[in-house]
Amino acid sequence: MFYGESVMSDESRIVDDLVVLGNAVPDIISDQRITVCTVGYSQSLGLLRIYPVPPSSYMKRWNIVKIPLDRNPRDNREESWKIQGSKSEWDHLSEKIELRGQVPNKNRPALVELLHEEFGAGCVEDFNDRRTSLGMIRPRIIECKLEQREDYEPMAQTQLGRVSPFLTIKNYRLRPVIEYKCPKCRAKRPHKQQVVEWGVFEWFRQHPNEPEKVWENLRLTDTDYERSFLVGNMVLFRNSFMVVSLFRFKRNS
């Protein structure tokens, strides 16, 4: 299932075994490129954040890819990387990502369990103590809600070759939020975190008349399912975490 890693230097790596765990909803950066933030796992490097990433690439959840990475000079978080040539070769960046395989359905629960063992915590506050920016949590969900986005921008950017405009995070009127407690929660109040998983926003785009059903689709209140969150903090607000990816698996009967 895994392939290993070719080492170029401490600041540059060719990773052969990156398992894609999720993508945040696309955003527009200062030079007007539309990008996503991808989170993945490598046996040699652990949890990784890769940014910026073209929205159209092999970086889909559960894909295993080979990818050349550099340290991101604008982000000193240990887990943060960028694709080599991410700016100068942006138009051809997807060609540098090689699809090596996919994690089979039957192996996915075991992989998520491994991630909990290696990168899990009893509370999100533990990640702050460890100075880690990515980690796994088993949530006890209290409330799921959709808030109105204060920075909503109704006009989406049109991309060459697309019939319809490409929606980025601010083009969605709604902001999905989950309140939850951790298994060994140290916080006085429930954690209230924004969900940035791209799939949630794709539901809004494809089902504009029934956005609330996204929670049912995610099985977040279904007792037959076990749930895990992959959470990550923000580069400018290291103590503020968001839900980057949601995992749910049916319990064994």
Q: At 234, is the pLDDT very low, low, confident or very high (cuts 50, 70, 90)?
A: confident
CATH placement of domain 5-102: 2.40.50.140
Instruction: Tell me the HSE value of 190 on the side-chain side, using a 13 A CA sphere.
Output: 14
**Residue-level pLDDT at 32:** 86
pLDDT at 68 over 70: yes
Residues of the chain with pLDDT > 70, as a percent, come to 92
Query: In one letter, which amino acid is 179?
Result: E
- Kindly give the pairing relationship between strand 12-23 and strand 34-42: antiparallel
**Residue-level pLDDT at 7:** 42
Quick: pLDDT tens for 118-143.
999 999 999 999 999 999 999 999 99
**Residue-level pLDDT at 232:** 96
Q: At 6, is the pLDDT very low, low, confident or very high (cuts 50, 70, 90)?
A: very low
pLDDT at 10 over 80: no
Quick: pLDDT tens for 149-168.
999 998 876 655 555 678 99
Residues of the chain with pLDDT > 90, as a percent, come to 77
Reported pTM: 0.91
Any idea where the domains of the chain sit in the sequence?
A: 5-102, 105-250
Full DSSP string of 25-55? PPEE-TTS-EEEEEEEEETTTEEEEEEEE-S
What b/e string do you get for 94-133 counting C-beta neighbours within 10 Å, with b at 16 or more? eebbeebebbeeeebeebbeebbeebbbebbbbbbeeebb
| Average pLDDT taken over every residue of the chain | 90
Average pLDDT over residues 198-225: 94
